[in-house]
Chains A and B, each alone.
Chain A
Amino acid sequence: MSGRPVLAVEGLSMQYETSAGLVRAVDGVSFAVQRGQALGLVGESGCGKSSIALSLLRLLPENARITGGRILLNGEDVTALTEEQMRARRWSSISLVFQAAMNSLNPVYRVGDQIVEALDEHVRLSREDANARVRELFDLVGLDRAHIDNYPHEYSGGMKQRAVIAMALSCDPDIVIADEPTTALDVIVQDRILREMRRVRAELNMSMIYISHDMAVIAEVSDVVGVMYAGRIVEMGSTADVFESPIHPYTRALVSAFPSISGEKQELITLPGEPPNLMDPPAGCRFHPRCPFATDACRTEEPPAVRRGEHYAFCWNPLE
């Protein structure tokens, strides 16, 4: 891995202000994505994955605030930009394939027009060139050109997903974030779409961040994996390392929930309880209330980093 990363996140923290109190959804998260690399973020729902995605594009709701850290997009700190500057970066530098892609197409406009709309905002093409670009994108994601002038309700789930991916690619972004890109699809379509995305990424040498609760999806598409728990990254490393020799007990539990990944027999770790309340997270290691190996140190003190080359985790009792 060499050169300046396309995206570097350093100690990012953000919180939601709710009527019940402050929710620290993301707490000191750091990672970097190199050109052409695919990073996977995995974790249970509510662990802050999607909040990270929204923070990267600065699309947070009104009650949310980034409280610390930097987000370097091509070396430029996104958190310091004005709204107007940020708007110009969206889609042209960083784009997003939404969780629930089904609903991210506006039902009253033709699909092709919605892609043209994004092009018009950033690239300024003639009408003819814009249409040509849409045809090109449809070919790229494997959609029939005949459907360019159809409305979203005339598309199947898989087609909508492809259309949303085409839209995300329209302005040649440096990095695409895919937030649960295939959750709503059935397994066969899901598999096909994932393979398609991998192909497109290789073709365009593009960086991506995949966000999912599904270990199997992450394992299939990403080069590097970050495991999130309660607003923090607890383990990070190459996909092979994380899946084959996890350091953190939480990762092990997640991996073992998908037995098909590794062939050999493995002790199944069950996870009792629920993720912690982020308004009042537990002291020490946030995972300790659910961890079968928890000791006194886990309950009181922040866990130290355990490094094995590029692969690291935060744990008092790392697995062998």
Chain B
Amino acid sequence: MNEPGYAPAMGDASLWRVRLGLAAGSVRENWALFTKTRIGVIGLVIIGLYALLAGAHPILMNTVWEERVYDPVVGYAFDETRQPAPPSLSHPLGTDPLGRDVLSQLMFSARTEFLLGLLAAVVTVSIGTTVGAVSAYFGGIIDTLLMRLADIMIMMPGISVLIVLSALIGVDHLELALIIGILSGFGGTGVILKSQALSVVVKPYVEAARIAGGGPLHIVFVHVIPNLLPLSFLYMMFTVTGAIFSEAVLSFLGLLDVRMSWGLMIHTTESAGYLLQVAEYWWLIFPASLSITLLCSSFYLVGRSMDEIVNPRLRRS
């Protein structure tokens, strides 16, 4: 991170211009480092491919795919004589036991997964960054309370909590994202961001801002949080992995109120009894499972590669 040693007295606009300039410079430099790690690039390529799939789905639905056949939830492949049908020209990944096009389900779900991941990540990181910055800046009783809360959150077995919650009160995608965000934001992510924030609050420019009469909230939001953002962004990647994974497991168990998702696709396969016929009905199992695995791994790999750059202790000499 290339932060200036102090924040010079300037108008907010020009201050941000300086920050953006510095950011652009460090983006170029960090991009070079990022590409050097290779595994991060592999991750980015896979994420890009799935983004393309997600983006292409509405276009296909509006052009070549007829809705009553290709709708991921209520469509039916009238052109096939028996369901599930193996891959063909009109259905490249075949159809599921209920006669729905697997490729269409896969692409439709990709968008859901991205939205879910993004939402969970934003919630997590907003909470985590605020908790970290506030805890580090104010210290004392606020810090103690937030960190004890974090201890509790860390000990929560997230998936088990979600299993119980979904069984008792029902959980949809939005609630899922919020629960994951709260568990992780007040838990592990908050703790890690706090340890980073501790090294920020002792920097001279924070002291300078305080002497210049900056209020605590002003300092936390203008001086501390911006310096946490690189690390926050990194933890967004790990949260996305966690969110997609949790969603997949819960909907695989049939516990989530969702219309369509990769986990649900495998749940459908299981309830129809095709789960152990891996070789005969591979298209019912592999596309969805591999997608979950690939997308989770990709975000994780990108996060790790960013860690190599953001974490000074891992930087090469």
Residues of A within 8 A of B (CB): 18, 61, 63
Whole-angstrom distance from the CB of B302 to the nearest CB of chain A? 22
Whole-angstrom distance from the CB of B31 to the nearest CB of chain A? 14
Contacts of A63 in B (CB 8 A): 317
A136 to B213 alpha-carbon distance, docked (Å): 62
Whole-angstrom distance from the CB of A60 to the nearest CB of chain B? 12
A-B contact count (CB 8 A): 3
A53 to B317 alpha-carbon distance, docked (Å): 19
Whole-angstrom distance from the CB of A103 to the nearest CB of chain B? 15
Contacts of B317 in A (CB 8 A): 18, 61, 63
Task: For chain B, residues 270 to 317, give those with C-beta under 8 angstroms from any C-beta of chain A.
Answer: 317
Residues of B within 8 A of A (CB): 317
Contacts of A61 in B (CB 8 A): 317
A111 to B317 alpha-carbon distance, docked (Å): 30
> Which 3 pairs between the two chains have the least Cβ-Cβ distance?
A63-B317, A61-B317, A18-B317
A302 to B266 alpha-carbon distance, docked (Å): 77
Whole-angstrom distance from the CB of A42 to the nearest CB of chain B? 26
A129 to B100 alpha-carbon distance, docked (Å): 81
A18 to B316 alpha-carbon distance, docked (Å): 10
Whole-angstrom distance from the CB of A51 to the nearest CB of chain B? 14
Kindly report which residue of chain A lies nearest to residue B32, judged by CB atoms: A19
A18 to B317 alpha-carbon distance, docked (Å): 7
A61 to B317 alpha-carbon distance, docked (Å): 9
3 A-B pairs in the complex with CB atoms less than 8 angstroms apart? A18-B317, A61-B317, A63-B317
A63 to B316 alpha-carbon distance, docked (Å): 10
A18 to B315 alpha-carbon distance, docked (Å): 13
Whole-angstrom distance from the CB of B8 to the nearest CB of chain A? 24
A16 to B317 alpha-carbon distance, docked (Å): 10
Whole-angstrom distance from the CB of B179 to the nearest CB of chain A? 40
Contacts of A18 in B (CB 8 A): 317
Kindly report which residue of chain A lies nearest to residue B29, judged by CB atoms: A19
Kindly report which residue of chain B lies nearest to residue A16, judged by CB atoms: B317
Whole-angstrom distance from the CB of B270 to the nearest CB of chain A? 49
A207 to B317 alpha-carbon distance, docked (Å): 33
Whole-angstrom distance from the CB of A59 to the nearest CB of chain B? 15
Whole-angstrom distance from the CB of B316 to the nearest CB of chain A? 8
Whole-angstrom distance from the CB of B95 to the nearest CB of chain A? 54
Whole-angstrom distance from the CB of B124 to the nearest CB of chain A? 34
Whole-angstrom distance from the CB of A246 to the nearest CB of chain B? 36
A61 to B316 alpha-carbon distance, docked (Å): 12
